[in-house]
Amino acid sequence: MANGGKLKTTTKSAPGPAASGVQVGGTLMTVDKDIVSNAVNSTEHTTLVSALAAAGLVETLKGAGPFTVFAPTNAAFDKLPAGTVNTFLIPENKQRLSALLSYHVVAGHFTAADLQDGQTLPTLAGPLLTVVRKGKTLLVRDTKGGAAIVTIPDVLSSNGVTHVIDTVLQPGK
């Protein structure tokens, strides 16, 4: 033996939940946490988390699921006209806010690999989202023709999967 007759062994830990996580907003998202618990830890999703609480959707998205969530970043909310977010957050607009956020949630577990070009996804709010693939870019189109780019796909959670998007999707009337 080349090392003087000594057998060298190494041990490697099997990957656990943290090892299979994805970094979002500077924090490791892990599969042992639910969708909301992971979002709470993302510095890029503070507006979304506040909006989920104001809309009364936290318990729904902490539920068993599975859910697929297209999660707009703070920057996505910042693209909305001035005052829009604050208007949605007042208690009188809870139903409108709930409908807007529910439009970003699909029942079922859809990873990026599961999403096919032209596929339509019924949202919890009712109206459909349409998947668009342009080369390696994955987009989700709303009923008004707007599109959001999936900037971070496949953030796995204990009750589903989140895809980070760069635009707030708008349900049609």
Which pair of structure tokens corresponds to residue 132? 């668009």
Question: Tell me, what's the pLDDT at 31?
Answer: 75
Question: Tell me, what's the pLDDT at 2?
Answer: 44
Q: What is the mean pLDDT of residues 39-68?
A: 89
Domain holding 70, by residue range, is 23-165
Residue 134 scores a pLDDT above 70: yes
Beta bridge partners of 161: 68, 156
Q: Indicate which CATH number applies to the domain containing 123.
A: 2.30.180.10
Q: What is the mean pLDDT of residues 72-84?
A: 91
Tens-digit pLDDT profile for residues 4-52: 444 333 333 333 333 346 656 566 666 778 888 888 888 888 999 999 9
Q: Tell whether 159 is covered by a domain.
A: yes
Question: Tell me, what's the pLDDT at 23?
Answer: 57
Number of domains in the chain: 1
With a CB cutoff of 8 Å and minimum separation 6, the contacts of 92 are: none
SS3 of 82, please?
coil
Q: What φ, ψ does residue 67 adopt, rounded to 5°? A: -125, 150
**CB contact at 8 A, 169 and 70:** yes
Q: Tell whether 12 is covered by a domain.
A: no
Q: How confident is the model at residue 151 (pLDDT cuts 50, 70, 90)?
A: very high
Whole-model pTM: value is: 0.83
Q: What is the dihedral of CA 8, 9, 10, 14, to 10 degrees?
A: 170
